[in-house]
Amino acid sequence: MRWLAAIALVFGASTASAAPKGAEAKAAFDTGVAAYTKGDYAAASAALNKSYDLEPDIETLFAWAQTERKLERCDQASALYAKLLAADIPAENKAVVREKFEECQKILAAQPPKEPEIPVVAQPAPAPPPPPPPQQQESSHAWWKDPVGGALVGVGVIGLGVGGVFLVQARSADKDKASAPSYGEFQRLEDRAESRGKLGVGALIGGGVLVTAGIVWYATHRGSSKQTTVTGWFDAGGGGLAAVGSF
């Protein structure tokens, strides 16, 4: 039988009758047999695999399975033996295949389990460093010439002076009311003292705030090259400050 001839191939007997019928499949089969005989099991496996793909043949399948067994690839050999056991073959041949299949299963059971491969995750490229901040040009004018600071301090000093004048006037009116010749004059001087006193206190507070603001401005705007135009006013009824430019 061709099946027995294929088995004989594995044990070194004649293989003349153990071959597929197609010319290309037979040529690949013969190449596999020659490689197997020389001990080149890798080449034999490739040739027998090709032959079986061209023409599925029971004898070729068994020879291929035995070649995988020689290569110690029992997992692949077991899969090929399982195909043979599922095929319709004589009982004596199936017994031989089952024996080879069980041998491979014992070898596989004795092997330690394979460790799972850990995929290598590519690390993202580092982000480029941020660009350096633009360098600020040094101011070309002296800090004490800053128009905003100068205006704040100047108007504040004026406010302090005006506040002092109002307080002097309030004190004078308060003193003069004691010698007023009539009640009407007394009332007028008393009102004047009160109004001038309030204006004086307000002017002193406002002037002090402006002077303080000017000092703070000088301290926080040294080296600034921005141009600012400032105008201000102050009188007995109030005052103000206006600045035009970039801050």
Give SS3 for 199.
Answer: helix
What pTM value is reported for the model?
0.43
Give which of 223, 116, 50 is closest to 64, Cα–Cα: 50
pLDDT score of 35 more than 50: yes
Strand 238-245 to 228-235 pairing = antiparallel
Per-residue confidence (pLDDT) for residue 142, from 0 to 100: 64
Check if the beta carbon of residue 193 is closer than 8 Å to that of residue 173: yes
The helix/strand/coil state of 242 is strand
Confidence band of 225 (pLDDT split at 50, 70, 90): low
Tell me how far apart the terminal alpha carbons of the chain are, to the nearest angstrom: 106
Would you state the pLDDT for residue 1? Answer: 42
pLDDT confidence of residue 103: 87
Look at residue 42 in the predicted model and tell me its pLDDT.
94
Higher local confidence (pLDDT), 26 or 220: 26
Statement: residue 4 has pLDDT above 50: no
Q: Read off the tokens for 69.
A: 């067994």
SS3 142: coil
Going by C-beta distance under 8 Å and a sequence separation of 6 or more, which residues neighbour residue 57? 20, 25, 29, 51
92-110 mean pLDDT: 88
Average confidence score pLDDT of the chain:
75
- Ranking 91-95, 205-209, 235-239 by mean pLDDT, the lowest is 235-239
Q: Read off the pLDDT band of 48 (50, 70, 90).
A: very high
